[in-house]
Amino acid sequence: MPELPDKPLNREPAIQDLIASFITPVKEGYDRNHGMLPELDGRSHRVKVEGAVRKVLELSILDLQNDFEQHDVVCALQCAGNRRHTMRVKIKEVQGIDWMDAAVMNCKWTGPKLKDVLERAGVSLDQNAEAHVAFACNATLCQEDTWYGASIPLSRALRDDADVLLALKMNDEPLTKEHGFPVRIVTPGIAGARAVKWLDCITVQTQESTNFYQQHDYKVLPPEATDAESASKFWGVTPAVQEMPVNSTISNVEEGGTLERDAHGFVTISGYALPSGDDGPVVKVEVSSDGGESWVQAELLHGEGEAGSTRTFYSRATDAAGNTQPQRSQWNLRGVCYNGYGEAADVTIK
Ligand SMILES: Nc1nc2c(c(=O)[nH]1)N[C@H]1C(S)=C(S)[C@@H](COP(=O)(O)O)O[C@H]1N2
Ligand SMILES: [Mo]
């Protein structure tokens, strides 16, 4: 296991700050790192495109900027461990960073499409189920591997409307070091773990990335896997997380908190919602103020009940494909892909 000089940077903003704006400001974006942040030189940096391609490419940042059409994509980038805290406290202990609901950011990303870069190289592989495009960053050691890598299905990468980018900009500014300067992958709808930062190599290949974080992390293990030992036989047979599930949160009040009625007797519940994978947009968010008995499709909720009463609020999002959140999602050892109802229990209404 590589020894790191220090602890990797991992942080999330206060949820109130995250939901204050539709586009997440760069400084509010969560940070998730399995290793130290590398200092890369944008002028000498190269991205190699290799593997099952007709022509190997070595692209500079200027090449990526000038030789390919630049696309703007607004999408959420979400850690698969987002909301792990809820799985931990509402279901059962899990392993992993105690992310609350803010390990997600909705940003505008700019750069060439991965599809255009792959077409320039000429993919020489059938788009069968096993064919993947792997991304690598060899610039820093990680806690469990000597490099960081991930992969997505080749078919997804080649779909024009999947909008997979080699992002050079975040919210119209060059990427910051924390978020992957000078270039990172952005994979709309797919777990953040595949959005490789400080990208230096793209490989078209007949299998998934062999990196630790694709093979031994970010998987929804079956419930029988309850510790490292019982999990060991499942890593190899459990698929790596790709698409994230439909989700929503209640973010303006916490469990045990207080909501004040406005002059009309209403209380406001707010949060965010995300579709599953590329099944967006979210078409409906329902809110319950009685622990799931009844639901209203509104942002403003009429508080009935007596003053001073406590209530349990839930939120439930549904996307265009009809995917909707379960009350609680399946427990898994690593606490990934939690998408149970957004909730705030025992809220006092004043
Ligand atoms: N090179 C590299 N890329 C990486 C990671 C990493 O540790 N190293 N972490 C991944 C994970 S798990 C997530 S959730 C996102 C986080 O991106 P952010 O730090 O910009 O929020 O980056 C992904 N890309
Ligand atoms: Mo992540």
Shortest-distance Cα residue to atom 5 of ligand 1? 33
The pLDDT tens digits for 63-93 are: 999 999 999 999 999 999 999 999 999 999 9
Nearest to 199 by CA among 40, 2, 5: 40
Q: Which CATH superfamily is domain 15-231 in?
A: Oxidoreductase, molybdopterin-binding domain (3.90.420.10)
Instruction: Please enumerate in sequence order all residues whose Cβ is within 8 A of that of 90, keeping only pairs 6 or more positions apart, or say none.
Output: 328, 340, 343
- CATH number for domain 247-349, candidates 3.40.50.720, 3.40.50.300, 2.60.40.650, 1.10.10.10: 2.60.40.650
Residue 126 identity: D
Ligand nearest to the CA of 80: 2
What is the model's pTM?
0.94
Q: Determine the pLDDT at residue 303.
A: 37
User: Token digits for 65?
Assistant: 């900027």
10-residue stretch averages of pLDDT, the chain, 350 residues long:
90 95 96 97 98 98 98 97 97 96 98 98 87 97 97 96 97 98 98 98 97 97 96 97 97 93 90 93 90 78 50 93 95 96 91
Q: Residue 198 Cα, ligand 1 centroid: separation in angstroms?
A: 9
Q: Determine the pLDDT at residue 302.
A: 35
Extents of the domains making up the chain: 15-231, 247-349
Cis-peptide, bond into residue 13, ω within 30° of zero = no
Question: Is it true that 15-231 and 247-349 share their CATH fold?
Answer: no
**Ligand 1 binding pocket mutation candidate from 10, 11, 34, 201 (most atoms within 8 A of CB):** 34
Q: Determine the pLDDT at residue 129.
A: 75
Q: Which atom of ligand 1 is nearest to 140's Cα? A: 1
Q: Residue 209 Cα, ligand 2 centroid: separation in angstroms?
A: 16
Q: Which atom of ligand 1 is nearest to 80's Cα? A: 14
Instruction: Please enumerate in sequence order all residues whose Cβ is within 8 A of that of 340, keeping only pairs 6 or more positions apart, or say none.
Output: 83, 86, 87, 90, 325, 326, 327, 328, 329
Beta-sheet pairing, 104-111 with 71-78: antiparallel
Which residues does ligand 1 sit against, CB inside 6 Å?
Answer: 29-35, 79, 137, 148, 179, 192-193, 195-198
